[in-house]
Structure 1
Amino acid sequence: MNTVLRWFGDRGVPRAIKILLWVIVGFNIALLAWTILSSLRDSRSLWTSPLGASGLNLGGYSRAWHAADFAGAFASTLIVVSASVAVLMALSVPAAYVLARSSRRSAAPLVTYFAAGLALPIQAVLIPYQALAQNLSQFMQDWVTGWWDDRISLVICNVAASLPFTVFVLTGYFRSLPSELEEAAALDGASPRTTFLRVLVPVARPGLTMVVVLNVIGLWNEFLLASVILRDPAQFTLPAALNQLNSTMQYTSDWGGLFAGVTILVAPMVVLFFWFGRKIMESMTLGVTK
């Protein structure tokens, strides 16, 4: 009994939390490994031996790739995510810098409004976004260009949905940077624009990298907006194509192909996070330690 009480003493709670975190990490790694293993097996072996490793082959990837046109979906995802992140950073980086350095009384309430936007779930604005996309498409087709790509509407909605998080995080990061940087640049005769582009942006590169990676992961896996805005299957992103593949594979009972589709969607973001994981952690704690 004394040993148990001693274990849950001053150091017991941190130990328990650490063990719990390792259990969660181990469970997720095991689940990812089982998904990849299942994508290499056929449906019969999955039913007879769910945890086995017999009959491994790459046929499921070929079936999934062609059944849901993953080649087109992969290209659409790259286009949508790249355009969304480019527009998002072009808008949020200057806005965050101005809010971080502004001495006006309206700056603090604006940051609060962006923070409040983090609490707004995407489901609450799904119908307004859908109506915006439809009206924009109709207007452009009838009055401006005569055509419209719904992926442009998806980019606009992605930017609007991701802007609160990006501006709020970057505002805190720019606040952590010393103001002496601007003062030194001003003494050298640099204009505010030059100071921002050539001094502050390079110094803030770790924070910008963190925000870009997190937004890429979030937008890559975004499904709700893509499912209600994209109407043409040829324009589907990977999550929408995977949903279509799920409907197809359920009727054919091709569970190996379905797991292969899940792996195709998840694997690039897992690799991306492992590649930039340490930089993300360092960037997230940098503003706290300064």
Structure 2
Amino acid sequence: MIRVNGELINPNLLEEAFTRIKSEAELRTQVSCCERDEEFSKAAEEEVIDSILIAQEAEKNHRDLDEQEIARRLEELIKLYREHGASWEMLEAERDNLRDEVMANLRMERFMGEHIPEVAPPTEEELADYFESVKKQYRDLPEARCLHLIKMIDGHEDQKELLEEMVALRKRLLEGEDFSTLAKAETEKSSKEVDLGWIPLDRPTNPFETILFSLQEGEISPVLSYEHALHLVKVTERKGGMTPALEEIADELRNRYVVEKRQAALRALASKLRSEAVIEHVDFENPDES
């Protein structure tokens, strides 16, 4: 666990931040990012620590709040919960926690108003520059549809002979034989399936996908050794890999620009608070031992 200025961080906050950060990265890149879990975990830890530091600073600087404003906002919050089906019994049991939530939000609003400047929407020139810096994240996922012929290495005693057989099959295909017909006759896949359908570029360093996405429509691959088998593929269609025009996502970009500018200001403030903070990693079973 992590302790910030004596306050233990709820592990659920770290897990929620990790899940969100990873999901956002996968949505932007349209690629599974499991190999980056350590990176996402570190980013989640930094984000939660920063938020705790800012919340602590807000509480320290805004202890006195208007009771009437607290009461008004508390009733608004209770009304909102009621509209979403919460019972009066549950709300009464949670009233103290809800009041704490209202007070924390009020303190944060005041603190943000004092320390985080408002950000004007970007000019057209700024928007264009920002688009250039992030447009790769908006590129849609390349996909390829292909036909497939496979021979299992384990089923052949002479691997050199197997490779020569696959090279000979490739030569016949390059000379014009129909890939689908030949693959159905020669493949060692038990289902005799030769059309793999649409395959997304999920793993750019995977040998099969590296070859597949280096081919153009109608092109036949070299013989590929992968997962105890030799493969031949033919790309029949390609799609995706396109970036939308700036005009199509301008509103989203403007909002993202403003949010990122404010987040940068928050990170700068949190960095200053970190220099004065006591941040400890403690044993979960012995939280008093740093």
Q: TM-score, normalised by structure 1?
A: 0.21
Question: Where is the strand percentage greater, Structure 1 or Structure 2?
Answer: 2
Q: TM-score, normalised by structure 2?
A: 0.21
**Larger of the two Rg values belongs to structure:** 2
Question: Where is the helix percentage greater, Structure 1 or Structure 2?
Answer: 1
